[in-house]
Chains A and B, each alone.
Chain A
Amino acid sequence: MTPAISVAGLTRRYRDHTALDDVSFTIPGKTITGLLGRNGAGKTTLLRILAGQEFPSSGSARILGAPPAENEDVLRRMVFVREDQSYPDIRVGQALRAASWFYPNWDAALASSLLDDFGVRADKAVKKLSRGQRSALGITIGLAARADVTLFDEPYAGLDAVARQIFYDRLLADFAEFPRTVLLSTHLIDEAAALFEGVIVIDRGRIVLDAAADVLRGVATRVSGPSLAVDALAEGRPVWEQRRLGSQASVVIVGPLSQHDREQARSSGLDLTPLSLQQIVVQAATGVLAPALEAEAETGFETGFERTSA
């Protein structure tokens, strides 16, 4: 089956730096994938290339099996909502009306209902919207377009927590009814973590993590307590991080813990805290995933856990 998004050896060089460096991944259809990474990691460049708005220096990007650049068969089945979207001198309602002409699956009722939820008036000039309201307009277009491939680049910049929750809820509800491929770039990782079926972490233009979200959620545990007990539990296991303070220690152990391990931890007075997706992404972005990879064969958690570059 043709993946919804497939990228191979994608590189984008600018005069003085490389924004994307030999990036390769595939995203299956009808999934929500998180595109995560630090500022300047290359997420926006990647999304712009996927949307056909930027050109790669080398490599290829394919959407629904075809290159997106200047390909209207692909472009009309894709919507790209970007944080810094600029609009002509028009009103909110006019922007939505224009969008309805371009997207064959456009849902005007959904657009209207989203505007109500976000509290954005259709007769307001786009240039007079606040940052959050502009984000709400972008989200409205992105969801109401019901495009086969939906790319969100930091879509909720400036939105308050309530509005962000509305976005998550409406995205999930609409996705359940009309499944499509969504690639969402965000910094609010833990907040959006429940949405993701897959996670791609990019750092300095390279993919440092490409994995199923379910696999990642159980991939590492922080163990803290008396040093001797911590060392005993961690012995022979891949470890991401170690901290010591007097007789106390804290380590991040990679791989699932067995029932026996948990009982041993409880009897030794150790605290076990699963690492959140955000913490795992931080580990990935700071380049400390290597020990885990070396130990893949031992831990057995590697199903769906794929490291595409060092």
Chain B
Amino acid sequence: MNTWVRVARYNLVGPANYLVLPCILPFSFAIGAVTAGRSPGHDAAAYLSSFFVFFAVQGWQTITRSLPFGLTLGASRRSFYSGTALLGMTLALVSGLVLAALQAIERATDGWGLSLIFLRVPYLLNGPWYATWLTSAVCLFALFAYGMWYGIVHRRWGMLGTVAFTAAQALVVVAVSVVVTSEHWHLWSTAGGSFTDLTALGLTGVIAALAVVLLAGGHITIRRVTV
């Protein structure tokens, strides 16, 4: 058995964390249905975000909780990271498929008989089933990788490093915003003054590229982690 697969199985050996995943959707749905679902527009799509956020938490937990024993079992840092990312990708693909199936049911039943918008996230997840599958899987995996990277930074540099990591990201976002909107570079005007021409699938491509960056960042950071 390949070490990556062993690591993925090891992460699943205590299934409690992962069994939470299928419980989040009905719970978020119930909250959305009795709150936003009863207001005009019946738009409870924001409650779906809890499912996505949990992927980031899950990625973080694989590092903070599972890494030390994983290394004790003889996995290298590289294999642990790759095997865990493999698990995250598999979970994202399966979850994306479930979301696409549930979205089809929501459409067919006119919002579960309540005119509720829960899985049809405007713009992002509101296309054909395969687009919903692809976009949600890519988003979920990107968040998982993001959580893993955070966990690695925390394990390597502690709380101070985590705060510095967060601050560095804020700086990057601000710097990118300044560069993009700066008249000097004409980037914003070149884009027509907005990014509204970007389709959901185009945005999925951007998020996929971001996921690759996050994955590479985690891979570089974990190489010198000690336990």
Interface residues of A (CB under 8 A from B): 48, 51-55, 70-72, 75-76, 78-82, 85-91, 94-95, 97-99, 101-103, 147
Contacts and interface: CB of A to CB of B under 8 A. Distances in A.
B79 A72 contact: yes
Contact of B226 (A55, A78, A97): A55
Nearest to A48: B226
A65 B52 CA distance: 46
14 contacts: A48-B226, A70-B76, A72-B76, A85-B69, A85-B72, A86-B65, A86-B68, A88-B14, A88-B69, A89-B14, A89-B65, A91-B14, A98-B10, A102-B10
Interface in B57-83: 65-66, 68-69, 71-79
B67 to A, nearest CB: 9
Given A53-B227, A78-B74, A94 B68 contact: no
Contacts of A81: 72
Nearest to A84: B68
B108 interface: no
Nearest to B66: A88
Interface residues of B, number: 26
Interface stretch (B1-9, B145-153, B167-175): B1-9
A75 B226 contact: no
Contacts of A85: 68-69, 72
Given A55-B224, A85-B68, 7 more contacts: A53-B227, A70-B78, A75-B75, A81-B72, A94-B14, A98-B73, A101-B1
A87 B74 contact: no
Nearest to B77: A70
Contacts of A91: 14
B17 interface: yes
A72 B14 contact: no
